[in-house]
Chains A and B, each alone.
Chain A
Amino acid sequence: GDQVEQSPSALSLHEGTGSALRCNFTTTMRAVQWFRKNSRGSLINLFYLASGTKENGRLKSAFDSKERYSTLHIRDAQLEDSGTYFCAAPTSGGNYKPTFGKGTSLVVHP
């Protein structure tokens, strides 16, 4: 089965509001990385976490390896936040092949 389960698959927000995206892992991951795919199709790095939380502007991410999940919080959403968000985590053992979630498609409305 999928090692990375991402939710929700789609999300609609009004400008100024916020929400959280989540990735659950079926096994213990060493780290997590979050990306946003913009309108031009480029994957933009948002966060890399091996533990704890990180914050960057209106975005905040948390990673709990033991509990096997990571979250990405968006506050005060803006139109330019629209896009598809992905989490990725390296598989365990010596095979470093990051596994991706299926993405959350976020649309921010005026």
Chain B
Amino acid sequence: NSKVIQTPRYLVKGQGQKAKMRCIPEKGHPVVFWYQQNKNNEFKFLINFQNQEVLQQIDMTEKRFSAECPSNSPCSLEIQSSEAGDSALYLCASSPHWGGAETLYFGSGTRLTVL
């Protein structure tokens, strides 16, 4: 169904450590989204890109995360200093177009546990 590849599948970090996860969008998809899904199945939008440019991000992402989508390299999302509350499933999705009229294709996610 989806060809979005996320690595690693599982990530365990201590508080204060950096946590980095990667995403390869579907070929030809210029738009990438990152979401955080908590244990209650609630999705929180984190950031999105069109090609290499950040389009939108929430305050938390701007202050505590480092994210990029370089050309010809995987996209990445890195928490600079992990906190217990960051434990969650991080989902990357790509889309063929920008504008709200296209389907999202999700990867399998990176499950982060912060001890």
Interface residue ranges, A against B (CB under 8 Å)? 30-31, 33, 35, 40-45, 48, 50, 84, 86, 88, 90, 95-100, 102-103
Q: With A41-B89, A84-B41, A102-B42 given, is the CB distance from A30 to B100 under 8 Å?
A: yes
How far apart sit A52 and B91, CA to CA, in the bound complex (Å)?
29
Interface residue ranges, B against A (CB under 8 Å)? 1-2, 33, 35, 40-43, 45, 48, 56, 89, 91, 98-106, 108-109, 111
- Expressed in whole angstroms, the minimum distance between the Cβ of A81 and any Cβ of chain B is 15
**Central interface residue in A96, A98, A99, by most chain B CB within 10 Å:** A96
Whose C-beta in chain A lies nearest to the C-beta of B91?
A: A43
> What residues of B have a CB within 8 angstroms of the CB of A86 in the complex?
41, 43
For this complex, 26 residue pairs linking A to B, each with C-beta atoms less than 8 Å apart, are: A30-B101, A35-B106, A41-B111, A42-B2, A42-B106, A42-B108, A43-B91, A43-B106, A44-B1, A50-B101, A84-B41, A86-B41, A86-B43, A90-B100, A95-B56, A96-B48, A96-B98, A96-B100, A98-B33, A98-B45, A98-B104, A100-B42, A100-B43, A102-B41, A102-B42, A103-B41
Whose C-beta in chain B lies nearest to the C-beta of A50?
A: B101
How far apart sit A96 and B33, CA to CA, in the bound complex (Å)?
10
How far apart sit A98 and B43, CA to CA, in the bound complex (Å)?
10
How far apart sit A102 and B38, CA to CA, in the bound complex (Å)?
10
Whose C-beta in chain A lies nearest to the C-beta of B103?
A: A48
How far apart sit A88 and B23, CA to CA, in the bound complex (Å)?
21
- Expressed in whole angstroms, the minimum distance between the Cβ of A46 and any Cβ of chain B is 10
- Expressed in whole angstroms, the minimum distance between the Cβ of A92 and any Cβ of chain B is 9
Whose C-beta in chain A lies nearest to the C-beta of B98?
A: A96
The answer to whether A97 touches B108, judged by C-beta atoms less than 8 angstroms apart, is: no
How far apart sit A99 and B43, CA to CA, in the bound complex (Å)?
8
The answer to whether B101 touches A31, judged by C-beta atoms less than 8 angstroms apart, is: yes
